[in-house]
Chains A and B, each alone.
Chain A
Amino acid sequence: MGTTVKELVYNMGGGIPKNKKFKAAQTGGPSGGCIPESLINTPIDYEELKKIDSIMGSGGLIVMDDSSCMVNVAKYFLEFTLHESCGKCVPCRIGNMRLFEILTNITEGKADINTLETLKELCEVIKETSLCGLGQSSPNPVLSTLKRFKNEYEEHINQGKCHAHVCTKLLHYTIIADKCVGCTLCARNCPVNCIEGKRKEVHFINQTECINCGECFNSCSFNAINIL
């Protein structure tokens, strides 16, 4: 109690692997809130966490580095709620499903900017009207990411981009002609065989068939694969 998030992560927790950059800490289990880097000096106790829209909850703490997409994080926690909902009351039974679907649409580039207003209102009403604690807290991860990481939501919607490269449907893999040596490794690793090119010649990804799996990116030894 009273230890700050920063101390917990960097001193007791031993920092973030591979020296990646701290992005957020999620406290209190699936229905807690996310603490951004700007609030990393917040002491961990009931009152302080509540002030910044998070909770102690189960006492768990999940640290996310910059390889996490906050929209996807919200979606992940909601998926948990969908499994836990008993289905008795309308807001939790139907509302959480709709929340999950809206988040899915955002991660797949199928939402417009008005969606964020709808999303927020839906979250608030689910919280205000659900019968038990589950539904009353399930929208918390969405609300807190929406508040602290609105730019990430906007980036997904407006630019069709997920800069953490998590939301696969928003990714575009291309081959940088200058760097490609024509080793054929990517073509051999592509599960849908959509990479063409002769040995020792520049290769091309057939965009209509690409499933954004990232195998080419992982296999290329010459950093010739670009993600847009």
Chain B
Amino acid sequence: MYTIKIKINDIPVEVEAGTTILRAAEKIGIKIPTLCHLNLHDFKVDHTPASCRVCQVELKGKGLITSCATSVYEGMEVFTNTQKALRARRVVLEMILSDHPKDCLVCDKSGNCELQSLGEQLHLRNVRFKGRMSKHPLDFSSQSIARDMSKCIMCRRCETMCNTVQTVGVLSNTGRGFDAVVDTPMHRPLQDTKCTFCGQCAAVCPTGALMGIEHMADVWRVLNDKNKFVVVQTAPATRVAIGEMFGMEPGTIATGQMISGLRRLGFDRVFDTSFGADLTVMEETKEFIDRLNNGGRLPILTSCCPSWVKFFEHQFPDLLDIPSSCKSPQQMFGAIVKTFYAKKIGINPKDIVVVSIMPCLAKKYEAARDEHQIENMHEVDYSISTRELGFMFEEACIDLTHLPKEKYDNPLGESTGAGVIFGSSGGVLEATLRNAAEILDKKPLQNVDFHEVRGLDGFKETEVEINGIKIKAGISCGLGNARKLLEKIRKKEADYHIIEIMACPGGCIGGGGQPFHHGNTEILQKRSEALYRIDKKSKKRVSSNNEAIKALYDEFLDNPGSSKAHQLLHTIYRKRNKE
């Protein structure tokens, strides 16, 4: 790699060849405004459609150019603040706003909206153009994703996520000229498509065009209903992200404050989805070892991620027998609350409401799946995102930074480090390997750290020897990476024993319900590291050592894989349309 010398506003800058003007300017502290551009460096996503035309700078002797899409060359001289450049940015923004509802006061994206921030940065005071506005029907058809295309600015980041990263392909540009808009095949409501509800489109949408369906009002209602006993579970990835909404550094572990905040909102019990994760590990390990010992179908695929589950139901209906039959931690938790726990505390399960706090938008859909009911009760009644919890804290005048650190309630608040790392790509597999090693080797594990399976990479693998058997394990996050792996399996070109798949790049820490990262994947890295810090500090790091789990089996479930366990904790998959 050689370097190139250029001048920006007469300041000399030296950068690697291939660097864009935008990045070169950042090096000397000049933040040129952008809107359509998205670079998810850690996931090798570079979305540069150069379509918003906001990032204009003036090239000496040449006029205006887009800084996001132009690479530097030796001797280049660029000016970022000329009258011409400033005018172009402002008038382009004026055009965008002339076709935008400007509903900020009642928009769920307000405060997190990149269009709004652009307005702030450019200090536009008036939109001179008035005329036709793009009008599109709202799509609230699904449980997960809300689409309001009248707020779309056609950056088409969502298309890149859905088509290139996830290879699902339900979003694409339709229409021409002023009528151009991102839409589903045949303008179908999202519910009737093969959308997996991963929420990655919403995670990168700069505006409020793609958002999560909100269930905060339902949760407020049950919290204020004296006849309801409201139990909350918090997913692993939420505790290392919620702090960001209250000004804490990315990677801050805010478990204690989140728990006390939940109590102040009025939840009757505050429990941990990591308990459900430990339970999942117990069941999945059992299933894995059975398949391994009895010549069952391998590899076994994890099934904690509802988006991944829906993906293979649509795309690989011929392989429905390879994923583990285990429900996800969210659902296992709900099932245990409405049976075992209800009985234990002597409350009619019909009066118990299970709320989950999830980093995920697909979890909303998962909670609503028909399979996930016990005696006509949903195992989980309402799933809300990390963001929605932050909003509820705000509504309740709770500033997380000022709260005391409290602990989860017992018994369903007890978890091991293994249950916590579920939130990061590789975590489910590492937790399962730890457990399998202890069971097969019949002795406590010496080294519980499987470093090769950690991190944000889309594909990771490792080989471990357990009780004389070489176990080959693969991990993939992002559905495009998963597809490649599945295709190999279909062609019998892969010899893995066990595979973990998470739909979101980086795993649940990067889920569609998390506080927005605005393209900064370093934030995801920090969330992931925080989860491993929690694990490292935990006294117990193998799921089978969770005392509450042991008690659950002793008192209620018998053994992993028992018929009771199968009835409550396992599920079935269905073939879905390829279209």
Please state if B128 and A125 are interface contacts (CB–CB under 8 Å).
no
Which residue of the partner chain A has the closest CB to B129?
Answer: A98
* Total CB contacts across the A-B interface at under 8 A: 89
A130 vs B129: C-alpha distance in the bound complex, in angstroms? 18
**Is A48 an interface residue, CB under 8 A from the partner?**
no
Within 8 A of B (CB), among A62-97: 82-91, 93-97
Contact of B177 among A86, A91, A102 (CB under 8 A): A86
Q: How far is the CB of B344 from chain A (nearest CB, A)?
A: 60
A131 vs B54: C-alpha distance in the bound complex, in angstroms? 12
Q: A128-B63, A129-B88 are in contact. Are A87 and B179 (CB under 8 A)?
A: yes
**Is A37 an interface residue, CB under 8 A from the partner?**
no
Which residue of the partner chain A has the closest CB to B176?
Answer: A87
Which of A90, A98, A122 has the most chain B CB atoms inside 10 A of its CB? A90
A118 vs B94: C-alpha distance in the bound complex, in angstroms? 12
Within 8 A of A (CB), among B74-127: 84, 87-88, 91-92, 95-96, 98-99
Please state if B53 and A121 are interface contacts (CB–CB under 8 Å).
no
Total interface residues in chain B, CB < 8 Å:
32
**Is A215 an interface residue, CB under 8 A from the partner?**
no
**Is A155 an interface residue, CB under 8 A from the partner?**
no
A150 vs B299: C-alpha distance in the bound complex, in angstroms? 76
Q: What chain B residues lie within 8 Å of A88 (beta carbons)?
A: 49, 51, 154, 180
Please state if B51 and A131 are interface contacts (CB–CB under 8 Å).
yes
Secondary structure dominating the interface of A: helix
**Is A201 an interface residue, CB under 8 A from the partner?**
no
A89 vs B179: C-alpha distance in the bound complex, in angstroms? 12
Q: What chain A residues lie within 8 Å of B88 (beta carbons)?
A: 125, 128-129
**Is B50 an interface residue, CB under 8 A from the partner?**
yes
Please state if B178 and A93 are interface contacts (CB–CB under 8 Å).
yes
Q: A87-B179, A125-B91 are in contact. Are A101 and B53 (CB under 8 A)?
A: no
Q: What chain A residues lie within 8 Å of B64 (beta carbons)?
A: 128-129
Q: What chain B residues lie within 8 Å of A129 (beta carbons)?
A: 53, 56, 64, 88, 92
Q: How far is the CB of B349 from chain A (nearest CB, A)?
A: 53
Q: How far is the CB of A75 from chain B (nearest CB, A)?
A: 14
**Is B247 an interface residue, CB under 8 A from the partner?**
no
Which residue of the partner chain A has the closest CB to B52?
Answer: A90
> Which residues of B does A touch, CB under 8 Å?
49-54, 56, 63-64, 84, 87-88, 91-92, 95-96, 98-99, 128-132, 153-154, 173, 175-180
> Which residues of A does B touch, CB under 8 Å?
82-91, 93-98, 101-102, 118, 121-122, 125, 128-131
| CB-defined A-B contacts under 8 Å, sample of 8 | A88-B49, A90-B51, A90-B54, A101-B130, A102-B129, A121-B87, A129-B92, A131-B51
